[in-house]
Amino acid sequence: MVKINIVAVGKIKEDYFQKAFDEYVKRLSRYAKVTVTEVKEKNIVNEPSDGEIEEILKREGEDILKALKGYVIVMAIEGKKLSSTALAKKIKAIKDGRGEITFVIGGSYGVADFVKTKADELLSVSDMTFPHTLFRVMLGEQIYRAFNILEDGKYHK
């Protein structure tokens, strides 16, 4: 069984997002062993300077690096965009090869460049920006959809 790791900065604070994400993790358990690693979000109370943002990214990035395993996909706005079907094909190729995939979701300020350089791939779902807690739900849904496509299920239609 393929391993899917989701490394995300911060905790989901909203109960409704957590319930939705948990539902997709539960559905995914048919297809994969899913682990979620939450990296502590580094925040500054006031509007941070560029230097403070760089420090936040550095500290979060160091924690993210410790959790990377297998084929690493960093979610980044500048990444490649894939359809749900193309994501399914990518997941199939990876699971048939390495057998373990780690998806990385950054925090409020994104993901440090040095983490992106460790990735096998940068992936984007949109040019828009989403709250990272909502995005965790969206990613969970897309991973589930990908496995459902691979099983020729009806969910994705």
Q: Is position 139 within any domain? A: yes
* Domain harbouring 39, CATH code: 3.40.1280.10
* Coil/strand/helix, residue 42: coil
Instruction: Give the C-alpha separation, 113 to 154, whole Å.
Output: 38
Q: Is position 132 within any domain? A: yes
The reported pLDDT for the residue numbered 42 is: 83
| Residue 139 near residue 126, CB atoms below 8 Å | no
Q: Is position 60 within any domain? A: yes
The reported pLDDT for the residue numbered 7 is: 98
Secondary structure E strands in 82-115: 100-105
Give pLDDT tens digits for 121-135: 999 999 888 888 899
Q: Is position 97 within any domain? A: yes
| Residue 120 near residue 21, CB atoms below 8 Å | no
pLDDT more than 90, % of the chain: 79
Range with lowest mean pLDDT among 43-57, 64-78, 138-152: 43-57
Q: What is the pTM of this model?
A: 0.93
Q: Is position 157 within any domain? A: no
Q: Is position 115 within any domain? A: yes
The reported pLDDT for the residue numbered 132 is: 86
Q: Is position 145 within any domain? A: yes
Q: Is position 125 within any domain? A: yes
CB contact set of 12 (below 8 Å; sequence gap of 6+): 18, 21, 133, 136
The reported pLDDT for the residue numbered 156 is: 57
Domain count, the chain: 1
Residue 142, domain extent: 2-150
Give pLDDT tens digits for 53-102: 999 999 999 999 999 999 999 999 999 999 999 999 999 999 888 789 99
Six token digits for residue 49: 């300077």
